[in-house]
Amino acid sequence: MKRAILASALLLAPWAFAQQEVVPGVRLIRGTFTPGSQPDGNSVVIDAPSGLVVVDSGRHASHTQKILDLAKSSGRPIVAVVNTHWHLDHIGGNAAIRAAYPDVRVYASNALDDALTGFLATYRKQLAEQPPSAAYEAEMKLIDSGKALAPDVVITKSASQSLGGKTFRVGLERSVTQGDIWLFDEASGVLIAGDLVTLPAPFLDTACPAQWSATLDKLAALDFDVLIPGHGAPLTKRQFAVYRNAFNALLHCDAKEACISAWTKSVAPLTNDDAKFTAGLMGYYVDLLRSDRLAANCH
């Protein structure tokens, strides 16, 4: 009961803060996502007995710097980084954190290996064909540094895992990518979902939609009070149910415009993003869902 009261009190205006203490000892650095720019994923910084555990390191240097600044001001070292998946907006800051804290251990699935020769190699080729820009150069540099972004410890199965002397339930799924990790801190009731939950839209680019839906069922069965998504503000369990219903409706909806407007209307209470921005993203993703391009992600 105490957990639930705390969580709902802190969730009154979640998007009002660039950085917020979700519950004591768990701080969220919100990733930004603005039209015309690639996003940063959310980062979570957790107090553990032997130091700080960071979940996801951002894409842009400015985001990662916020993590480093928070660690510096707390006077505690970053002892572990967990990457929920290999998308660049979640692993891009690994090298900078390693440079600042050489003893840090990075935990992730091994899905980056295939991504470097598959999706990311194709993406890099597309970037190289565009007129030069600082943003594209930075993306290509990040991809070229691939091995510096890779884990020290490969997570191969769902299990309890001690990080910085604190025990988490760690799940390994294949939904958004071929290796998606979630972390559940049972003591605080906080579930860190990575891009298994994203607002204002589900980022389907490398996903298997049916497997994603099954994973959302698994998350719903966990006894959490607060879910921190990969993008967007923290959700209560009730808000997550709204998200899950909207996701499943999206997989089975009919006319494109109706699909877009049903999604946008459903998630409006969960996000502060502009409805036009959300609808624009969903136009792209509804087309993607109806293409055969995602079938290759289902194994």
β-bridge mates for residue 227, sequence order = 191, 235
Told to check if 230 binds Zn ion by CB under 5 A, we report yes
Tell me if 181 sits within 8 A of 84, measured CB to CB: yes
Nearer to Zn ion by C-beta: 195 or 273?
195
In whole angstroms, how close is the CB of 41 to Zn ion at the nearest point?
4
Asked if 195 is part of the footprint of Zn ion (rule: CB under 5 A), the reply reads yes
**Tokens standing for residue 32:** 């930004």
In the set 14, 45, 82, 89, which binds Zn ion (CB under 5 A)? 89
C-alpha distances (whole Å) from 173 to each of 81, 151, 153, 230, 288 are: 18, 17, 17, 15, 21
CA atoms of 8 and 237, how far apart (whole Å): 10
CB of 90 to Zn ion, least distance (A): 5
Please, which residue, 23 or 199, has the CB nearer to Zn ion? 199
Q: Which of residues 235-294 bind Zn ion (CB under 5 A)?
A: none
Closest CA to 86 of 131, 118, 46: 118
* Smallest distance, Zn ion to C-beta of residue 229, A: 9
Q: Shortest Cβ distance from residue 246 to Zn ion (Å)?
A: 18
Q: In this complex, which beta carbon is closest to Zn ion, that of residue 87 or of residue 124?
A: 87
Contact criterion met (CB below 8 Å) for 212 and 251: no
Q: Which is nearer to Zn ion, 33 or 263 (CB)?
A: 33
Q: Does 194 bind Zn ion (CB under 5 A)?
A: no
Shortest Cβ distance from residue 181 to Zn ion (Å)?
Answer: 13
Other CB atoms within 10 A of residue 199 CB: 21
And the tokens for 95?
A: 């090298």
Total of residues contacting Zn ion (CB under 5 A): 5
Residue number of the CB atom closest to Zn ion = 41
Comparing CB distances to Zn ion, the nearer of 89 and 185 is 89
Sketch the per residue contact string, 5 through 44, with Zn ion: x for CB under 5 A, - otherwise.
------------------------------------x---
Q: Which is nearer to Zn ion, 32 or 110 (CB)?
A: 32
Q: Which is nearer to Zn ion, 20 or 42 (CB)?
A: 42
- Per rule CB under 5 A, is residue 229 in the interface with Zn ion? no
Which residues are near Zn ion by CB under 5 A?
A: 41, 87, 89, 195, 230
